[in-house]
Amino acid sequence: MVYGIFTFCSALLAFIISAVLGKFLIPYLHKLHFGQTILDIGPNWHKDKQGTPIMGGIMFIVAIVVVTLISTITYILTGENFIDMYFADINREAVFIFAGLGLAVANGLIGFIDDYTKAVKKRNLGLTAIQKLVLQFLAAGIYLAVLGLAGYGTSTLIPFVGMVDLGLFYYVIAAIVIVGMVNAVNLTDGIDGLNGSVTFFACVIYMLIASMLSYLGITAMSAASAGACLGFLVWNFHPAKVFMGDTGSLFLGGLVCAIAFALNLPVLLLPIGIIYIAEVLSVVLQVSYFKITHGKRLFKMSPIHHHFEMCGWSEVKIVAVFSAITALFGAVAFALVYFGVAAI
């Protein structure tokens, strides 16, 4: 009972903070003239979005960080009661939660620099791809170094297989996975409500899995993340009054990776992050096919959500379908952990 109340309060508080912040942040962003510049190569109807404030991700970043810190500190201070009941390892959870927040915030700062550059220069290009990658690998490297120094090494849990020790290759693979997923989540932010909705369902699945594995701190962090995304959607659902910008999308990318690693189940990024992966693969396939065929396109437009837009799907329909796919594959991930971890 206490477990459920603790989780519900984390989600509710994060929702309230995120939603209420929008009331003040959006007018302030308008005042600063921090509006989106729409690329000419995008769908023509996106021109109506010109000037919509960016950096709205600050809303859920503040909510997630504040509520996660409150819930984690509360968990630590009252943790003895929870250990006997749920067999949780508070010290391990605290390390992964604080390091994970650091990873997410670091990526959010990279996004903020990118957004700020766009807003000041009034164009849709901020940091170069190389600059972003260097900073993202640096953030991932520091995150993994912190975990390594804390004594959490190179083994990862795979359902139905057990613990697999990858040795030093763990750090290389983990860094590539983190940076790749961060950018995949960034690409998912292309239409009203899409990224926030997909990430909401991803965090709900993480919450259920963390609860099943008796990680109360990570459960609360996931619940807060879901609640904050929902609070943001109050302002971002079609027609959007604000965009999360790279500030928000890169933060969310770091967040979904941090939770997966905190559960020691980064393999779950495959089913839970299926939409993110489809988005980035659609870009890779489009560019590759274009080069191989000397100008032909595999999709009408990439990332893949724009392809469906060009096919006549409404933004609301795309969000609904992509969210349903995330929920479906999330259920698969839950089943993998439920049966796969129990079978080990």
Is residue 73 included in any domain, yes or no? yes
Tokens in use for 286? Answer: 């489009």
Dihedral sign (CA 334, 147, 228, 61): negative
Q: Let me know if residue 284 belongs to a domain.
A: no
Residue 322 domain-assigned (yes or no)? no
Closest CA to 257 of 240, 273, 244: 273
The answer for residues whose C-beta is within 8 angstroms of residue 32's C-beta and 6 or more apart is 119
Please compute, for residue 160, the number of CA atoms within 13 A of its CA located in the half-sphere on the CB side. Answer: 5
Asked if the structure places residue 315 within a domain, the reply is: no
pLDDT for position 284:
95
The total number of residues shown for the chain amounts to: 344
What's residue 8's pLDDT? 92
- Rounded Cα–Cα distance for residues 77 and 119 (Å): 43
Q: What CA–CA distance (Å, rounded) separates 63 from 61?
A: 5
Nearest by Cα to 266 from 131, 147, 151 = 147
Run means of pLDDT, 10 residues per run, the chain, 344 residues: 83 98 92 67 60 91 97 78 52 92 98 88 75 97 95 90 92 97 95 96 97 92 98 94 95 98 96 97 94 90 94 95 98 95 65
For the four alpha carbons of 37, 229, 254 and 330, in that order, the dihedral sign comes to: negative
What's the chain's Rg over C-alpha atoms? 20
Q: Within a 10 A sphere around the Cβ of 241, how many other Cβ atoms?
A: 15
Write down the residue that tokens 């520091």 correspond to.
142
And the tokens for 309? 């837009």
pLDDT at site 294 = 85
* Domain-located, residue 218: yes
Residue 197 CB contacts under 8 Å (≥ 6 apart), including other chains: 229, 233, 237, 319, 322, 323
Q: Domain limits at 75?
A: 2-267
For the chain, the domain total comes to: 1
Assigned domain for 238 exists: yes
Residue 23 belongs to some domain of the structure: yes
Residue 45 has a pLDDT of: 53
Nearest residue to 117 (alpha-carbon basis) of 107, 109, 126: 126
At 4 the pLDDT is 81
Predicted local distance difference test score (pLDDT) of residue 86: 47
Establish how many alpha carbons lie within 13 A of residue 212's alpha carbon, considering only the half-sphere containing its beta carbon.
Answer: 17
Residue 87 pLDDT: 44
Q: What is the pLDDT of residue 114?
A: 92
The answer to whether 60 and 67 are in contact (CB under 8 A) is no
| Token digits of residue 124 | 């849709």
At 336 the three-state DSSP class reads helix
344: burial class by Cβ within 10 Å (0-12, 13-18, 19+)? Answer: exposed
340 domain residue, yes or no: no
Please, are residues 177 and 269 in contact by the beta-carbon 8 Å criterion? yes
The token pair that represents 255 in the structure block: 């967040």
How far is Cα 135 from Cα 156, in angstroms, rounded to an integer? 25
Tell me 49's DSSP state. Answer: G
